Structure 1
Amino acid sequence: MEETIFDKIIAGQLPSDKVYEDENVLAFRDINPQAPVHVLVVPKKKVKDFIEIQHNDVTQTGIFFNTVSKVASLLGLEKGGYRIVLNCGEDGQQTVEYLHAHILGDRKMNWPPG
């Protein structure tokens, strides 16, 4: 897989506005926010997209999703709610070939989303 902007952020080669980091996951504010709170959560062990997650270690997948929930709580989004978005592939508007979750909050979301 080609190196992505997320690889460079995780490696410390590019700056980010980190909101959470541990040995498995990094969460940082999106540079083009679509809501008052817009944070990206990326696993440090690279997975290309949501399709590939089925081949990932289930423990690592669980840690990733558990951390997405934890970060949303750390951001204070539990009371009003929030949206988690996983874009997959070209039609799903995935712009970086690296699995990542968008946490969007602090405003009322619309439906349908697309």
Structure 2
Amino acid sequence: MTDSCIFCAIVAGRQPARTVYQDETVTVFWDIHPQARIHLLIVPNQHIRSLAEAEDVDPALLGRCLQVAAKVAREQGIAETGYRVVTNVGPHAGQSVFHLHFHLLGGNPLRLPLG
């Protein structure tokens, strides 16, 4: 964890968030600027700057993030109608917090194409 990372502060409980799930490896909370009716962020509790820097990370951690995304989608009632899981890597892709995170979006029709 890093002291200057907002997501690390949320994981540690030093920054308030509307958390919906947390275990020893992953935390899920509501995005403060939602782009869909359901917009949650899935973050590994370990500070990883982005997917581009995940090559030395245990692959099970990345898989766990996606397992939790599916679990939370079921709990939020969007598994049947569909949802999107996306991560932004770097500023050109729209990454604004440099702690790896996955967006879980659903609850209403999502527009295509992306971008």
Q: How many residues align?
A: 114
Q: Is 2:99 the partner of 1:95? A: no
**Partner SS for 1:54:** coil
Q: 1:3 Cα shift? A: 2.3
When the two structures are superposed, what TM-score results if normalisation uses the length of structure 2?
0.92
TM-score normalised by the chain length of structure 1: 0.93
> 2:3–2:9: 8 Å Cα contact kept in structure 1?
no
Alpha-carbon separation, structure 2, partners of 1:85 and 1:105: 12
Shift of 1:5: 0.8
Q: Which amino acid aligns with 2:100?
A: L
In the alignment, is the contact (CA less than 8 A) between 2:11 and 2:27 conserved in 1?
yes
Unaligned runs of 5+ in 1: none
* 1:38 shift after superposition: 0.5
Distance 1:49 1:2, change over 3 A: farther
Aligned residue number for residue 41 of structure 2: 40
Does 2:69 correspond to 1:74? no
Shift of 1:90: 0.8
Runs of 4+ aligned residues of structure 1 deviating over 4 Å after TM superposition are none
What is the Cα deviation at residue 69 of structure 1? 1.6
Moved more, 7-16 or 68-77: 68-77
Match of 1:49 in 2: 50
Task: Look up the match of 1:58.
Answer: 59
SS in 1 for 2:92: coil
The unaligned stretches of length 5 or more in structure 2 are: none
CA RMSD of aligned residues (A): 1.3
The 1:65/1:24 distance shift into structure 2, 3 A limit, reads same
User: Percent of aligned positions with the same letter in both sequences?
Assistant: 38
Task: Name the SS for the 1:38 alignment partner.
Answer: strand
Give the Cα–Cα distance (whole angstroms) in 1 for the partners of residues 57 and 45 of structure 2: 13
Residue 11 of structure 1 corresponds to 12
